[in-house]
Chains A and B, each alone.
Chain A
Amino acid sequence: MTTYAIKRVLQMIPTLIGVSVLVFIMIHSIPGDPARLIAGYDATEQDVQLMRERLGLDQPLIYQYTHYVGNLLKGDLGDSLRSERPVLHEIMIRFPTTIKLTLMAIGFMVVIGLLAGIFSATKPNSRRDNGFMMLSLFGISMPVFWLGLMLILLFSYYFKLLPSGGSDHFSQFILPSFAVGLSSSAILARLTRSSLLEVIHQDFIRTARAKGVKERVVILKHALKNALIPIITIVGLEFGHLLGGAVLTETVFSMNGLGRFIIQSIEYRDYPAVQGTVLFCAAIFVVVNLIVDLCYSLVDPRVKYE
Chain B
Amino acid sequence: MKTARTLKMVKTVATVIFTLMVAVACTSQNGSSDDSASSASNAPSASTKAASSEQAERGDLVVAMGAEPVKLDPQDASDGVSNNANELLYDKLVTLDREGKIVPQLAESWTFSEDRKKITFKLRDNAKFQDGTPVNAEAVKVTFDRVLNKENKLNRYSLFGAFIDKVNVDGEYQVSFDLKFPFGPALMTFAHTNAGIHSPKNLQEKGSDVGKSPVGSGPFKLKEWVPGDKVVFEAFDDYWGGKPKLKTITFKTVPESSARTIMLETGEADVALPISITDIDRLRENQDLTVNIEPSSRNLYFALNTTRPPFNDPKVRQAVNYAVDKETIVRKIMGNNAIVAEAAIGHDTWGFTPVGAYPYDPEKAKQLLAEAGVKEGTTIKLWTADGRYLMDRQIAEFVQANLQAVGFKVEFQKRDFGSYTDGLREKDADFNLSVNAWGNSTNDADWGLRPVLGTDGSSNYSKFSSPKLDELLEQGMKEVDEAKRKQIYAEALQLVKDDAPWIFVLDYSQTTGVRKNVENVYSWANERLILREASKK
Contacts and interface: CB of A to CB of B under 8 A. Distances in A.
Contact of A163 (B153, B156, B265, B268): B268
Contact of A171 (B5, B28, B226, B417): B28
B263 A165 contact: yes
A165 B268 contact: yes
A161 B31 contact: yes
Contact of A83 (B156, B227, B254): B227
A166 B268 CA distance: 10
23 contacts: A32-B419, A36-B421, A37-B418, A41-B459, A42-B438, A42-B439, A42-B447, A47-B155, A50-B150, A50-B154, A54-B153, A93-B226, A149-B258, A156-B262, A156-B266, A157-B262, A163-B31, A168-B229, A169-B34, A216-B9, A251-B256, A254-B256, A269-B418
A50 B226 contact: no
A222 interface: no
A234 B31 CA distance: 33
A234 B27 CA distance: 29
Interface of A: 30-33, 36-48, 50-51, 53-54, 82-85, 90, 93-94, 111, 115, 119, 122, 149, 152, 156-157, 160-171, 174, 215-216, 251-254, 256, 260-261, 264, 266-269
Contacts, number: 159
Given A41-B459, A264-B228, 4 more contacts: A39-B155, A42-B438, A84-B212, A216-B9
A169 B30 contact: yes
Contacts of A161: 24, 28, 31
Contact of B229 (A37, A167, A267): A167
Contacts of B314: none
Contacts of B153: 50-51, 53-54
Closest 7 CB pairs of A and B: A40-B78, A32-B418, A31-B419, A256-B229, A171-B27, A54-B153, A32-B419
A165 B416 CA distance: 27
Given A254-B256, A256-B229, A174 B27 contact: yes
B253 interface: yes
A157 B265 contact: yes
Interface in B365-418: 416-418
B27 A31 contact: no
B227 A85 contact: yes
B277 interface: no
A256 B258 CA distance: 17
Given A45-B458, A164-B259, A36 B422 contact: yes
A170 B258 CA distance: 22
A50 B259 CA distance: 37
A53 B155 CA distance: 12
Interface in B141-188: 150, 153-158
A167 B155 CA distance: 32
Interface of B: 5, 8-9, 13, 16, 20, 24, 27-28, 30-31, 34-35, 70-71, 78-79, 150, 153-158, 208, 211-212, 226-229, 252-256, 258-259, 262-263, 265-266, 268, 416-419, 421-423, 438-439, 441, 447, 451, 458-459
Nearest to B211: A84
Chain B interface main SS type: helix
A149 B156 CA distance: 40
A266 B421 CA distance: 16
A253 B158 CA distance: 40
Contacts of B8: 216
A157 B266 contact: yes
B31 A165 contact: no
A33 B458 CA distance: 15
Contacts of B16: 111, 115
Contacts of A269: 418
Contacts of A90: 227-228
Given A162-B27, A164-B268, A170-B30, A252 B227 contact: no
Instruction: Name the residue in B13, B226, B228 with the highest tally of chain A Cβ atoms < 10 Å from its Cβ.
Output: B228
Nearest to B260: A254
Given A53-B153, A163-B268, A171 B30 contact: yes
Contacts of A37: 418
Contact of B458 (A43, A84, A115, A168): A43
B13 A267 contact: no
A164 B458 contact: no
Nearest to A214: B5
B374 to A, nearest CB: 31
A168 B27 CA distance: 13
A46 B416 contact: no
A44 B255 contact: no
Contacts of A31: 418-419, 422-423
Contacts of B419: 30-32
Nearest to A50: B153
Contacts of B79: 40
Contacts of B265: 157
B418 A30 contact: yes
A266 B27 CA distance: 35
Given A43-B458, A90-B227, A254-B252, A174 B24 contact: yes
A305 to B, nearest CB: 34
A264 B227 CA distance: 12
A30 B417 CA distance: 12
Given A157-B265, A256-B226, A46 B157 contact: yes
B33 to A, nearest CB: 10
Contacts of B157: 46-47, 50
Contacts of B150: 50
Contacts of A169: 30-31, 34
B28 to A, nearest CB: 4
A268 B418 contact: yes
A173 to B, nearest CB: 9
Nearest to B228: A256
Q: Which of B229, B417, B451 has the most CB of A within 10 A?
A: B229
A268 B13 CA distance: 48
B349 to A, nearest CB: 14
A253 B254 CA distance: 9
Contacts of A157: 262, 265-266
A164 B260 CA distance: 10
B77 to A, nearest CB: 8
B31 A171 contact: yes
A164 to B, nearest CB: 5
A253 B255 CA distance: 10
A32 B422 contact: yes
B228 A261 contact: yes
A39 B228 contact: no
Contact of A119 (B9, B155, B256): B9
Contacts of B20: 111
Contact of B262 (A164, A251, A260, A267): A164
Contacts of A260: 228, 255
A96 to B, nearest CB: 11
A46 B268 CA distance: 43
A93 B227 contact: yes
Nearest to A89: B227
A33 to B, nearest CB: 6
Nearest to B267: A160
Nearest to A269: B418
B459 A42 contact: yes
B212 A85 contact: yes
Contacts of A216: 5, 8-9
A152 B256 CA distance: 13
Given A166-B268, A216-B8, A40 B155 contact: yes
